[in-house]
Amino acid sequence: MDPQGSRLRTTPGYSRREFVRKMGMAGLSLAAARAVAGKRARAAFAETPAEPLTAKLKLDPERQLGTIDPNLFGNFIEHLGRCIYGGVYDEGSQLADAEGFRQDVLEAARKLHVTQLRWPGGNFVSGYHWQDAVGPKDVRPARYDLAWFQRETNRFGTDEFIAYCHKLGAEPYICVNVGNGTLDEASRWVEYCNHPGGTYFSDLRKKYGHAEPYRVKYWGVGNEIYGEWQIGHKNAQDYATSAVEFAKVMKWMDPSIQLVACGSGDPDWDRPVLEALVRHVDYISAHHYTVTDELKDYYEILGGVAQMEATIRTSGMVAETVSQKARKSPPVRTAFDEWNILNNWRDGQKRDDPHKFEISYNLRDALWLATALNALERNCRTVRLANLAQLVNDIAVIYTTPTGLLLRTTYFPLELYANRSGPIALDVFVEAPRFETKNFGSPMYLDASATYDEEKRRLALAVVNRRKEGDVVGTVDLAGVRAKPGGRAFLITGSEPDAQNTFENPRAVSTQELTLSAAGSRWEYRFPRHSISWLEFEVEG
């Protein structure tokens, strides 16, 4: 994301418009429809709904796609706007604990079951010098941050980040500065965090009150270095040459760490980068933002997840190919370490406005987010780590004021999937009517994913009905296995796609639990228009 203009590059080398057009060519898949009735959750819709359409969904606990890595439910906090200061960390606030962490934010974040947390950027990291932000807070230097044009006090640094991860129950994931940072800074950061003691930087950590090493496992080798908006932007060859040296010294310092190379999802970047780094890294990153201001139309925006899925596939194909050639097993995996939808993007209007990324999300955006989560689960063999960008205030699921917080619409699907997904992803067959888009072919109204917990024999089916004009009635076929009665259903919807949560109406879009009356091996369910349905039940046997 370019902090000065309206550009956002998911892929270097293409303009965003070209990229969207190219990816749209790929289109999606199948067709058709049929079925009957089920349960209706919301009555008060803005307009009279159109007649329901019909669809078919088939799933089978034996048709498994792979395991879902818990790291799929990671999040991201960056020194951007009020994400850290005034969000995660708010010294002096009545809502903060003695160390300065906002208790209300922490409580809301804990409910998201965040498995790993990425920090300190994003673009910010490419100008960040971690040594500025350790030790006594009052003597830490304040700096001007050239990524987001804001003053950085450095009062939240490595020790505060680790303390936050501990409170949250999340693994820390630190990205190092490959922009204007040095090899020494990177290896010393690993030393500060992970070395047991007896060396200058490990003893510095001890001196600052942290006797035990932090054992930070996940480390990123730079952020979006392919973009000219990045401090220290490089071409693929220059990044690869330099990243190999970063990776070497970081792993020499602690061979147990796992490294994420800076990828883009574009083979022209990822391939040369991985060919140089394949022996040194465990993951290659990719990012995706669907920018609603560019796509504008409701169906175009929701179809935009196809572009994210295409990026996942491209990243995975390059990683598999290069790993296979190098006989690296397990292969390098994809770390989808930034993904989100950008709505009402005020970037570029006022470069140093600290509120410029405080985006309000609506129901449509929650549908997008659930569809993106379906895509991540469907591609669980490729994507082994992912980070929603971001947690608090800036392009975030939680929004704070000095006196309280608001859960954005997008908070709710994330909470549902992160808490209720089973460990194995299933291959769901969907045959449903389609909508037309200019950029992404003709996706089906219904987008689904499913997970299975073998131990509990529990199946969970997630279905996003993107049709805004009316419901879709689906026949759910369980391929011979039988759903036990007594399942649970969760629904996220709202009066219209534009519905937003506000302090006056904080639950305009939220999760409600319904009774699931389905039982047996074949039944019907009515998926309300513009909604997310989560159906969970045990199977007999």
* Residues marked as catalytic: 224, 338
Backbone angles phi, psi at 361, to 5 degrees: -105, 155
Among candidates 526, 540, 541, 537, which has minimal Cα distance to 35? Answer: 526
Residues in contact with 505: Cβ distance below 8 Å, sequence separation at least 6, in sequence order: none
Looking at the Cβ atoms of 119 and 445, the one nearer to ligand AHR is 119
Nearest approach, Cβ of residue 434 and ligand AHR (Å): 31
Regarding 223 and contact with ligand AHR (CB under 6 A), the answer is: yes
Nearer to ligand AHR among residue 122 and residue 265 (C-beta): 122
The contact mask relative to ligand AHR for 58-87 (x = CB under 6 A, - = no) is --------------------x---------
Window 146 to 205, contacts with ligand AHR (CB under 6 A): none
Least distance (Å) from ligand AHR to the CB of residue 377?
22
Nearer Cβ to ligand AHR, position 60 or 78? 78
Minimum gap (Å) between residue 8 Cβ and ligand AHR: 7
Which of 1, 65, 176, 396 touches ligand AHR by CB under 6 A?
A: 1
- Minimum separation from the CB atom of position 521 to ligand AHR (A): 44
* Residue 274 main-chain phi, psi, to 5 deg: -70, -35
Under rule CB under 6 A, which residues in 307-346 are in contact with ligand AHR? 338
Cβ at position 177, least distance to ligand AHR in Å = 13
Size of the site for ligand AHR (CB under 6 A): 11
The answer to the question of residue 123 lying near ligand AHR (CB under 6 A) is yes
3-state secondary structure of 452: strand
Closer to ligand AHR by CB, 11 or 449: give it.
11
Structure tokens at 64: 């498994």
When binding is defined by CB under 6 A, the residue of 145, 159, 160, 224 that contacts ligand AHR is: 224
Give the end-to-end CA distance of the chain in Å, rounded to a whole number: 50
State the minimum distance, in angstroms, from the CB of residue 290 to ligand AHR: 13
Helix (H) or strand (E) holding 431: strand 429-431
One-letter amino acid for residue 356 of the chain = K
> How far is it, in rounded angstroms, from Cα 411 to Cα 400?
13
Pairing verdict, β 398-401 and 404-407: antiparallel
Nearer to ligand AHR, 411 or 452 (CB): 411
Residue 55 vs 77, nearer CB to ligand AHR: 77
Q: Which residue is nearest to ligand AHR (CB)?
A: 122
**Cα–Cα distance between 174 and 384 in angstroms, integer?**
17
Looking at beta carbons only, is 278 or 385 nearer to ligand AHR? Answer: 385
CA 89/CA 469 separation, integer angstroms:
43
Phi-psi category of residue 70: left, alpha or beta, with phi > 0 → left and psi -120 to 50 → alpha: alpha
CA dihedral 381, 384, 389, 390 (to 10 degrees): 130
**Rg of the chain, C-alpha, whole Å:** 23
Kindly write out the interface string for residues 343-362 of this chain, putting x where it contacts ligand AHR by CB under 6 A and - elsewhere. --------------------
Q: Is 441 exposed, middle or buried (0-12, 13-18, 19+ CB in 10 A)?
A: middle
Ordered strands of the 64-67 beta sheet: 64-67, 424-426, 446-453, 458-465, 531-538, 487-493, 510-516
Stretch near ligand AHR under the rule CB under 6 A, chosen from 81-89, 117-125, 213-221, 315-323: 117-125
Q: How far is the CB of 309 from ligand AHR (least distance, A)?
A: 19
Q: How far apart are CA 158 and CA 193, in angstroms?
A: 8
443 touches ligand AHR by CB under 6 A: no
- 491-519 CB burial, b ≥16 within 10 A, e <16: bbbbebbebbbeeeeeebbbbeebebebe
| 369-428: contacts with ligand AHR (CB under 6 A) | 389-390, 395
Does 220 help bind ligand AHR (rule: CB under 6 A)? no
The DSSP annotation for 42-90 comes to ----SSPPEEEEEEEEE--TTSEEEEPPGGGGEEE--SSTTSTBTTTB-
Q: Which is nearer to ligand AHR, 307 or 531 (CB)?
A: 307
Could you say which of 52, 81, 100, 122 contacts ligand AHR (CB under 6 A)?
Answer: 122
* Min CB(214)–ligand AHR separation in Å: 23
Could you say which of 52, 61, 120, 121 contacts ligand AHR (CB under 6 A)?
A: 121
Site residues, ligand AHR (CB under 6 A) = 1, 78, 121-123, 223-224, 338, 389-390, 395
